[in-house]
Structure 1
Amino acid sequence: MLSCKSTAAHLKIPISSAHRASQHVLRASLATIRGSHRADTEDVEGDKSANDFILSILHSNPSIRDTKSYLASFGPRKLAPVVPTISKPKPVQVPAVEIPSLPVDESPSVSLDTQPSPIISSILDPVYRRTALVKIQGPFTDRQLESIATGMIYLEKLGLVSVVVVDHDDWTRGEVGERARVVEEVMRVTAALERQGSKARPLLEPIVRLGPSPDTSSQRKGSNVNEPEAHTLNRDLLPIQSALRAGEIPVLTPVAMDSLLRSVRIHSNDVIAALVRGMANFETRKAAHSHTDTSVSEVDLTPLRLMIINREGGIPSYARSGYPHLLINLDSEYHYIQNTFHEPWQGSHPTALSNLSLAQICLSYMPPTSSAVVVSHRSPKSLIANLITNKPIVSSSLPHALLQGNRKLTPHTPTLIRRGLPINVIKNITDIDKPKLKTLLERSFRKTLGEEAFYSRLQKHLDFVIVAGDYDGAAIVTKEFGKGFDEPISYLDKFAVLPEHQGDGTVDFLWVALHDETYGSGLPSSVNPHGGKQGQGQGYDLVWRSRADNPVNKWYFERSSGHLRLPGGKWVMFWCDAEMRLKADVERRRLDVKGTGKRREGASYVEPDEKGRLKYWMDAVDSIPSSWS
């Protein structure tokens, strides 16, 4: 289901081996550099910059699935071969000539295969270029702007071209000299981009128009997402398209045209929201779909990323003591995050909620695979990781103790935002949509479900089912009993995600909900809006098994407290210890050491209630019948 093979693991060996392991990503980036609109890229950036660029790609730690996903969006497009039309020549009368025959193995051969070599294609074909809406939310110093510009240049090399809208927290609407300050900031950003070797074009005139869009077809019925307060017409986007075709990064002012054709300053969020809707609905020329229109001058205007670059970093989390959210499921968490936003954060992160609202509006118009990232100017290289992997800097489904001690987590850690899916907890088997669950399990495991036996067992043992979306993913937890212990085992019977949702965050969303309902329950980090326990009650150990040759096991190793190979070698048993109990055990050991000096905290220490549990789990888990026919 998941692939955790990583090119970053090769950083400790010679760079040539790292290159071979990352050949798909590097080939794409090198193809972009060769096809760049700037002929003097190498001269401008130099060897050091090129090395930094390659190392940034390697440090992004892309898996095979991440690489394939990146190439699907930015790799060269396969084009139908063009067959030239050749007029049939008129027959010519020639005298008969005797031609000696040749042996078969000496006969000249003529290849009719006109397809170029794949290696040649990967070098000569340009990377398909996509767009990102970027909000640069100052104030920033010149040095900070140059750091941000470096990130924009790296993204451009990988095929993601920025459309920048400037913003400034210190601007006051209507103040004297406001227009001059806005223009000055646009020119500063433009100059910073050009100093780093890019080409930029300041667009000082309004691109968006105030008021609702006259195009009723773009207005969504029944949507709970607010519509942008501004709009664009197709012709309004021509300056942006012109700049992108010329290989320039457009830098826009946060201004709009009112009904009297006057230029007025509006909030940059309104400009970006209007641009996203307009660019997503922009009708490109028919020639853009022809086989001849493959040069790097053509850019897909549909935004693929929203990037908000500020000074404070990601959005504070109620579950991480104010440290930023790693990954946000908008569909499930949007209102809950707003309701749990603490008062002190209004001072330290004054624009966090408005940026969250901007992400919700924009992602509702962008493709389902798109994402938004709220990132500090201190982490421009993290934008590369976001582009290639489309994942947070650290997985949000890792054990909470690992996340707390992870050095990558700081007050400035970026927050990745996905449109996401609703998460619901079902406790009654009668509320399960059995046909949809059957489809999910069979497509995910690629096996045929033995329905009668499977649902008969759930009737007796079901604890709950966590469902993501419309059965796009599910985690089934049962209660199992064995000999020797009075308490039942919480057993993860099935964990499944549809293939098309593997890699879009659904796996992490589902596992976090599983954590909150089982081994993480009772802790502040498990307070959630999923309709389950919502952090209440006592957590309990979670146990599951997986086939020994399952490629997902590496992912399980990272999230479990321990594992044990079952007799026969066919299965591996995993478990997650109840985090609240672990916390209490650690505190008890600390007090014992302090009071008597007889007990010492260590990894091999076994609590009284843990003795014999592995044997109990093994016997119970090994006796569970297969669900497949």
Structure 2
Amino acid sequence: MLSSSIRHGSHRAAATSSKARSAQTFKAFYATIRQLRQSNAAPETDDLEPPDNDFIMSILRANPSLRDTKSYLASFGPRPKPAPRPEPKPDNPPIPATQEPIVDSAAQPPDIQQIPRSPVVASILNPIVRRTALVKIQGPFTDRQLESIARGMVYLEKLGLVSVIVIENDSLRKGADGERAAMTEEAMRVANALEKQGAKARPVFGSIVRLGPKPGDDNTPEQRDFAVPEAHTFPSDLVHIRSALRAGEIPILLPLAMDSFCRTTRVDANDVIAALARGMAEAAAADGRRQDENQEAELFDEIDLTPLRLMIINKEGGVPSYARSGLPHLLINLTSEFSYIHDTFDPQWRQTHRTALSNLALASTCLHYMPPTSSAVMVSHRSPSSLIANLITNKPAVSSSLPHALLQGNRKLTPHTPTLLRRGLPIRVLRTAAEIDKPRLKALLEQSFKRTLDEDAFWQRLDQHLDYVIVAGDYAGAAIVTSEPCPPGSGAHGPITYLDKFAVLPSHQGDGTVDFLWVALHDESYGLGLPFSANPNGGKEGKGEGRDLVWRSRANNPVNKWYFERSSGHVRFGDWVLFWCDAEKRLKTEEGRRANAGLSYVEEWERGRLTVWSDVVMKVPSSWKK
């Protein structure tokens, strides 16, 4: 009658056949599951010898969707060159009889320097557009650990993302004797590790950035929600980085800056990276303007300096989360969660994750200057292959919107699971229809569903049944939840919490908005009452009793795969699929009461509810014009 993604999967696996092949298959399956649960016995990444096809396997493990692939190709695939401007045709005056005859140019040896490179030839020689990533290697690391990190950098370079590395050594105190020599030696170790993996590296021992705010920043009255870099750089300072990138080399920078007296001093690596994020983005914008002014310039050997990723590689891993008992956050919406993460940061984590908050602030600053589609990732040195998945999919290793029961039992969620950070959007909850910006919500729904809204009927229905609307940003996404009354005598306890619409603008699909919105929906409905629902989304912040969330979707809706993974169960009704998410607090309370007995296939309170839900939900009128 129903299927469940959390509690009921074991009943299917229990039905085994008497045939020998089936029995062997089941034993192999059981052995595999048993090995998965013995996570403590798994060898560390540092001790594993990578196979020859490790690069290809890392790409396959990323499991990119069609949208992920299109997004990657949009950033790294060949780009069509603008059509050259037509040159004015010069007048051809008659040639005087005394003028020397024109020599046929085809009979002369060509001047190779003057022959313009064919766009087809250039696209073959440079099949991908090279982009840059800012990488902080936060050591100290052993040679074997550096080898693992270098392997990840080389993999990224093969996919078109060239690293600009800034090294840091947490064990080397600032001002210590011989710190300059120690940092120089560290840069050489990183360079050697990269070259052993087949890459070219160029250590840069001079300072690239300058101490102090950039001239003109003090005169900017605007309020900022990020820390302004305490260092800056000018386009002329980036000559060493440009030279290395043109030569196909990975620049490795020391955490040095030049003060007002032209002295070079060691600074925090975060100051260097923040200054580079701003300076490289501004330099790339200037390069773009120059190329627009001269469309005939074919800069095939140039590289886009705009940082596309920020990668922080350390021993700590990601930012610890109170919702996961200290395991890392999976995805962070910096706009709405930055302050809350600071407020809920456990004091004991300041010993185990000493630089988590400073790296969080670094990501917030850098992402402000980077493109909206950019992301930052904080990753342990034990997870180099996860960098490939982040590049191709631009998503966290495990979706943050999956049910917590699945996340807690997922072997992928370890202390070394990366944390993905995005600039994100503010999340707010509207309780009345009067608070809704109707034109913007209408535009969002019609662009997302590609249908015309029946406005009068839709707004009238919201006036009668609206529970709340969760809005992401300036109506980049929205979840509309209504309260549907149950017929008398149905035995239902209260109205049905119905997800009427869940929509995200096409331009924001794939940038994390979907996950941010669903997590907020979880916190306001079926996740209420649990500590991991106390997120700052402008709503109840986890306080209250959880409610079952019900919604329907067309059977041919391509989004259903995403719904299957996040719902507690579903049932089909002709052309429709009815989904629901069980109130998690009620299930958790019942599991605690029964101890090891567990939950039954269908609980007493669940009997007959599908009939009530289907009777009510299937009668909800369509919101679209026919």
Asked if Structure 1 and Structure 2 have the same fold, meaning a TM-score greater than 0.5 normalized by the shorter chain, the answer is yes
Q: Which residue of 1 aligns with 2:537?
A: 530
Q: 1:445 aligns with which of 441, 449, 454?
A: 449
Does residue 496 (structure 1) correspond to residue 503 (structure 2)? The answer is yes
Q: Which residue of 1 aligns with 2:365?
A: 361
State whether residues 62 and 389 of structure 1, in contact with CA within 8 Å, keep that contact through their aligned partners in structure 2.
Answer: yes
State whether residues 591 and 599 of structure 2, in contact with CA within 8 Å, keep that contact through their aligned partners in structure 1.
Answer: no
Does residue 411 (structure 1) correspond to residue 415 (structure 2)? The answer is yes
Q: 1:476 aligns with which of 468, 480, 504?
A: 480
CA apart distance, 1:51 = 2.1
State whether residues 486 and 494 of structure 2, in contact with CA within 8 Å, keep that contact through their aligned partners in structure 1.
Answer: no
State whether residues 421 and 469 of structure 1, in contact with CA within 8 Å, keep that contact through their aligned partners in structure 2.
Answer: yes
Can you list the C-alpha shifts for 1:63-82, whole angstroms capped at 9, x where unaligned?
00000000000001112466
- The equivalences for 1:41-56 within 5 A come to 51-56=53-58
Can you list the C-alpha shifts for 1:288-341, whole angstroms capped at 9, x where unaligned?
97455353x311111010000001211001111110000000001000001100
CA apart distance, 1:481 = 1.5
Give the aligned residue type for 2:610: L
Does residue 586 (structure 1) correspond to residue 591 (structure 2)? The answer is yes
Aligned length: 545
- TM-score w.r.t. length of structure 2: 0.83
Q: 1:577 aligns with which of 570, 578, 582?
A: 582
Does residue 303 (structure 1) correspond to residue 307 (structure 2)? The answer is yes
Does residue 284 (structure 1) correspond to residue 273 (structure 2)? The answer is no
Counterpart CA distance in 1 for 2:52 and 2:615 is 56
Does residue 554 (structure 1) correspond to residue 529 (structure 2)? The answer is no
Q: Which residue of 1 aligns with 2:348?
A: 344
CA apart distance, 1:535 = 1.1
Give the aligned residue type for 2:55: F
CA apart distance, 1:234 = 1.1
Can you list the C-alpha shifts for 1:231-270, whole angstroms capped at 9, x where unaligned?
0011101110111001110000101000000001100000
Q: Which residue of 1 aligns with 2:327?
A: 323
Q: Which residue of 2 aligns with 1:434?
A: 438
- The equivalences for 1:33-72 within 5 A come to 51-72=53-74
Q: Secondary structure at the match of 1:529?
A: coil
State whether residues 423 and 530 of structure 1, in contact with CA within 8 Å, keep that contact through their aligned partners in structure 2.
Answer: yes
Q: Which residue of 1 aligns with 2:152?
A: 151
CA apart distance, 1:196 = 1.1
Q: 1:539 aligns with which of 540, 546, 563?
A: 546
- The equivalences for 1:143-292 within 5 A come to 143-216=144-217, 221-282=222-283, 283-284=286-287, 286=290, 290=295
Q: Secondary structure at the match of 1:213?
A: coil
Larger deviation, residues 223-232 vs 74-83: 74-83
Q: Which residue of 2 aligns with 1:390?
A: 394
Q: 1:519 aligns with which of 508, 523, 526?
A: 526
CA apart distance, 1:219 = 5.7
Q: Which residue of 2 aligns with 1:34?
A: none
Can you list the C-alpha shifts for 1:102-140, whole angstroms capped at 9, x where unaligned?
xxxxxxxxxxxxxx999x997554200110000000010
CA apart distance, 1:560 = 0.3
State whether residues 79 and 291 of structure 1, in contact with CA within 8 Å, keep that contact through their aligned partners in structure 2.
Answer: no
Tell me: CA distance 1:217–1:369, structure 2 relative to 1, closer, same or farther (3 Å).
Answer: farther
Structure 1 unaligned regions, length at least 5? 1-47, 92-115, 594-600
CA apart distance, 1:611 = 1.1
Counterpart CA distance in 2 for 1:545 and 1:217 is 54
Does residue 373 (structure 1) correspond to residue 373 (structure 2)? The answer is no
Counterpart CA distance in 1 for 2:473 and 2:276 is 29
State whether residues 473 and 506 of structure 1, in contact with CA within 8 Å, keep that contact through their aligned partners in structure 2.
Answer: yes
State whether residues 166 and 269 of structure 2, in contact with CA within 8 Å, keep that contact through their aligned partners in structure 1.
Answer: yes
State whether residues 206 and 256 of structure 1, in contact with CA within 8 Å, keep that contact through their aligned partners in structure 2.
Answer: yes
Can you list the C-alpha shifts for 1:141-173, whole angstroms capped at 9, x where unaligned?
011101101100010011100000000111211
Can you list the C-alpha shifts for 1:381-422, whole angstroms capped at 9, x where unaligned?
110000000000011000100000111100111000000000
Counterpart CA distance in 2 for 1:624 and 1:72 is 40
CA apart distance, 1:589 = 3.4
Q: 1:610 aligns with which of 596, 606, 609?
A: 606
Larger deviation, residues 577-586 vs 388-397: 577-586
Aligned-residue RMSD, C-alpha: 2.3
State whether residues 126 and 294 of structure 1, in contact with CA within 8 Å, keep that contact through their aligned partners in structure 2.
Answer: no
State whether residues 82 and 295 of structure 2, in contact with CA within 8 Å, keep that contact through their aligned partners in structure 1.
Answer: no
Q: Secondary structure at the match of 1:284?
A: helix
Counterpart CA distance in 2 for 1:265 and 1:590 is 57
Counterpart CA distance in 2 for 1:350 and 1:489 is 46
Give the aligned residue type for 1:609: W
Identity %, equivalent residues: 65
Does residue 510 (structure 1) correspond to residue 517 (structure 2)? The answer is yes
Can you list the C-alpha shifts for 1:188-242, whole angstroms capped at 9, x where unaligned?
1111111111111111111000111125599682222121001001110111011
Tell me: CA distance 1:191–1:218, structure 2 relative to 1, closer, same or farther (3 Å).
Answer: farther
